[in-house]
């Protein structure tokens, strides 16, 4: 239903003065079959000197509901991969401030998981106030306007009606649906399909609405810095794949000195 709605105000988070180092990661696509990436991530989470870690979406290859974790998992289910992830998140949140933003793969991460890991769920986008500057954080998929089919899919799956109906299905059925979607996605990737990049106009519009200069986002797996003009730019995070021929595991680190990329492998 169309309503005379205004743009919701962009969420803001002010970094406490005690934070000296803030890390951003995204697109790890953690999954049970990729032990190397999980291990790299676990090591990073245990050893980062950051005061806060922001996970900007697609931490998980897929998330079909918070009941994939813990006591609600049906007896006999073989995968406790999610439990391992929850353990790492919880341990990390015990020693630094941990934030998570939904990606296009793990948008069904809910309050139960966040509560279990003592992690704060961030709205997409959110402005982070740090060191006297405003940094706009986003996963990035909502700005890939050129991917018309995906934008339509996104509108559907981000609606509360769709999510209620999906989460009401049995866990096994949701996992089967997710497998089907991933196979479609893999097939599309293998077919050499090109993917729409973040729309510069949309990024600039968001930055102006947020009164921020720099957008930090993931999703596209194309790490780069793009000048958007008018003093604005967008910084794209790298994805992680520790099992690739040239392994990738990278952190974007923000300190008083600015942004810097750190390769972990």
Nearest approach, Cβ of 123 to other proteins (angstroms)? 12
| 3 state DSSP class of 228 | strand
The least CB distance from residue 4 to other proteins, in Å, is 4
In degrees and rounded to multiples of 5, residue 120 shows phi and psi of: -95, 125
Q: Which is nearer to other proteins, 21 or 200 (CB)?
A: 200
Catalogue the long-range contacts made by 229-234 (C-beta closer than 8 Å, 24 or more residues apart). Answer: 229/204, 230/204, 232/203, 232/204, 232/207, 232/208, 234/198, 234/203, 234/207
* Contacts with other proteins, residue ranges (CB under 8 A): 1-9, 142-143, 145, 199, 201-202, 205-206, 208-209, 211
Q: State the nearest-atom distance from the C-beta of 223 to other proteins, in Å.
A: 24
Task: CB nearer to other proteins: give 78 or 149.
Answer: 149
Largest CA distance in the chain: 57
Phi, psi of 19 (to 5 degrees): -75, 125
- To other proteins, the closest distance from the beta carbon of 198 in angstroms equals 12
Going from the C-alpha of 203 to that of each of 142, 145, 178, 227, 258, the distances in angstroms are 10, 10, 29, 11, 21
Query: Which DSSP category does 107 fall into?
Result: T
> Looking at beta carbons only, is 200 or 233 nearer to other proteins?
200
Q: Which is nearer to other proteins, 3 or 246 (CB)?
A: 3
Q: Residue 97 in contact with residue 117, Cβ under 8 Å?
A: no
C-beta closer to other proteins: residue 20 or 151: 151
Residue 102 Cβ vs other proteins, minimum distance, rounded to whole Å: 17
CB of 204 to other proteins, least distance (A): 8
139, 57 contact by CB (below 8 A): yes
Q: What is the DSSP string of 112-154?
A: HHHHHTT-EEEPSSEEEEETTEEEEEE-SGGG-TT-HHHHHHH
| Nearer to other proteins among residue 48 and residue 138 (C-beta) | 138
Nearest-approach distance from CB 118 to other proteins, in angstroms: 27
Q: Which is nearer to other proteins, 29 or 102 (CB)?
A: 102
What is the spatial order of strands in the sheet that 258-263 belongs to?
120-122, 97-101, 52-55, 22-25, 250-255, 258-263
Residue 260 in contact with residue 251, Cβ under 8 Å?
no
């Amino acid at each position: 239903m169309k309503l005379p709605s205004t743009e919701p105000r962009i969420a803001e988070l002010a970094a406490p003065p005690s934070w000296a180092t803030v890390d951003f990661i995204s697109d790890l696509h953690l999954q049970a079959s990729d032990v190397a990436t999980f291990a790299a991530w676990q090591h990073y989470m245990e050893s980062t000197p950051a005061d806060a870690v922001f996970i900007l979406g697609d931490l998980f290859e897929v998330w079909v509901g918070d009941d994939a974790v813990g006591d609600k998992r049906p007896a006999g289910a073989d995968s406790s991969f999610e439990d391992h992830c929850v353990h790492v998140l919880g341990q990390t949140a015990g020693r630094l401030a941990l934030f998570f933003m939904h990606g296009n793969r793990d948008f069904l991460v809910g309050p139960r998981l966040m509560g279990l890991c003592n992690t704060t769920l961030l709205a997409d986008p959110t402005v982070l106030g740090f060191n006297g500057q405003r940094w706009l954080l986003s996963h990035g998929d909502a700005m890939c306007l050129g991917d018309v089919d995906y934008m339509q899919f996104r509108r559907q799956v981000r609606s509360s009606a769709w999510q209620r109906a999906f989460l009401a299905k049995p866990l096994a059925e949701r996992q089967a649906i997710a497998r089907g979607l991933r196979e479609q996605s893999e097939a599309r990737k293998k077919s050499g399909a090109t993917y729409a990049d973040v729309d510069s106009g949309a990024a600039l519009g968001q930055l102006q609405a947020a009164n921020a200069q720099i957008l930090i986002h993931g999703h596209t797996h194309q790490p780069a810095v793009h000048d958007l003009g008018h003093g604005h730019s967008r910084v794209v995070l790298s994805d992680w794949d520790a099992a690739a021929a040239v392994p990738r595991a990278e952190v974007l680190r923000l300190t008083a000195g600015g942004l810097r990329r750190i390769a972990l492998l």
